[in-house]
Amino acid sequence: MISITDKHDRQNLINRIQQLNENSMPLWGKMSAYQMLRHCSLWHEMALRQRTYKQAFIGRLFGKVALKSMLKDEPLKQNMPTVPSFIVKGEGDISSEKQKLISLIDDHAQCTNSGFIHPFFGKMSLEQGIAIASKHLDHHLKQFGV
């Protein structure tokens, strides 16, 4: 499994992000390239504790079971529901959003933050956060064929 904290894996993810442009089309789902990049930036801001959320009630009921399933060494399923906090509407500057996401990914090299709260999964350890952050970003890059 790839790891966003591994220098080689992180550079590979960044190289894939660089391939995206305003003409990039998803292989599945409804997000544009900009919306996907913004969605991932919001996710990484949370993982790096730059943005905080409370766990939703439904997450308290099912979050830990779902997290355990997500941590398995297999690809994420296509068209999974998105936590409302991470749904992006509208369009923006794809170039600046790519740079923002790349900067956030670079911040994972020094990441020692643990215990952030995901709106569905709840409190996550550093290891869980790194695993899901890596898997989530890889999933969305594959969504756009990069």
Q: Give the pLDDT of residue 146.
A: 97
Give me the percent of the chain exceeding a pLDDT of 90: 58
Q: Give the pLDDT of residue 114.
A: 66
What the block records as the tokens of 67 is 């997290």
| pLDDT exceeds 80 at position 113 | no
**Kindly report the CA angle at 108 between 143 and 61, in degrees rounded to 5?**
65
Q: Give the pLDDT of residue 75.
A: 83
- pTM, two decimals, is 0.90
Q: What is the mean pLDDT of the chain?
A: 91
Q: Give the pLDDT of residue 108.
A: 81
Q: Where are the domains positioned within the chain?
A: 1-16+30-75+125-146
